[in-house]
Chain A
Amino acid sequence: DVKVTQSSRYLVKRTGEKVFLECVQDMDHENMFWYRQDPGLGLRLIYFSYDVKMKEKGDIPEGYSVSREKKERFSLILESASTNQTSMYLCASSWTGISYEQYFGPGTRLTVT
């Protein structure tokens, strides 16, 4: 059974703080993704990675960076959190070429005050 976990379910941070969100998958997936989910806007891709140390910008990368030092772990970094980054953040992972199904983590509800 595929398992994708995220470091926190709920997080409250102050404006200007550096925030780390971590995602771990246990299925040896090549691809990992970070999305943010806002009401009425669906799932918007922030960054994704198709291999260790590789990353590509998604649709809304501004204000975010990522790190993938190990295959199973993909981190999302908010260098200086702002109130407009208050959102639900979802991590996902998938294989390459075998199946395109993305397996999602439970999400992190981030509030920036």
Chain B
Amino acid sequence: GENVEQHPSTLSVQEGDSAVIKCTYSDSASNYFPWYKQELGKRPQLIIDIRSNVGEKKDQRIAVTLNKTAKHFSLHITETQPEDSAVYFCAARNTGANSKLTFGKGITLSVRP
């Protein structure tokens, strides 16, 4: 089955700096890669996703890049703000998985004011 790994497990940045979170996946048949954000005490929510036919997608301060050859994808957050502090989960889905997502273990991002 699919295996998704996230690196690093924690990340601390200064407010205003950029943050990059990387994920690798194992199944070359995976074709959909979402990122979820979970603030403390709240439910995970989708913030951005990318499909395998696209190399990059942007939405305001966040972007996701996908490298299918290397089987990794990354979340980029620019001009970080304290409200970006949260746990971020990457995930992958393949076509034969009945809409099932395989999640990484999550990374805790701390933005220092």
Check A50–B98 contact: CB distance below 8 A.
Answer: yes
Sample 19 A-B pairs with CB under 8 A, ordered by A number.
A40-B105, A42-B89, A42-B103, A43-B103, A44-B103, A45-B101, A45-B102, A45-B103, A50-B99, A56-B100, A90-B43, A90-B44, A100-B34, A100-B99, A101-B34, A102-B46, A104-B45, A106-B42, A106-B43
- A contacts with B, residue count (CB < 8 A): 25
| Residue-wise interface mask of B (78-113) relative to A, using a CB-CB cutoff of 8 A (1 in contact, 0 not) | 000000000001000100001111111110000000
| Residue-wise interface mask of B (6-42) relative to A, using a CB-CB cutoff of 8 A (1 in contact, 0 not) | 0001000000000000000000000010100000001
Check A101–B99 contact: CB distance below 8 A.
Answer: no
B95 to chain A, nearest CB (A): 11
Check if A58 is an interface residue, CB within 8 A of chain B. Answer: yes
Q: How many A-B residue pairs have CB under 8 A?
A: 52
Check A42–B101 contact: CB distance below 8 A.
Answer: no
Given A42-B104, A42-B106, A43-B89, are A104 and B44 also a contact pair (CB < 8 Å)? yes
Give chain A residues whose Cβ lies under 8 Å from the Cβ of B42. 106
Given A48-B98, A94-B99, are A105 and B93 also a contact pair (CB < 8 Å)? no
Given A42-B104, A42-B105, A50-B98, are A101 and B43 also a contact pair (CB < 8 Å)? no
Given A41-B105, A42-B103, A42-B106, are A101 and B46 also a contact pair (CB < 8 Å)? yes
A57 to chain B, nearest CB (A): 11
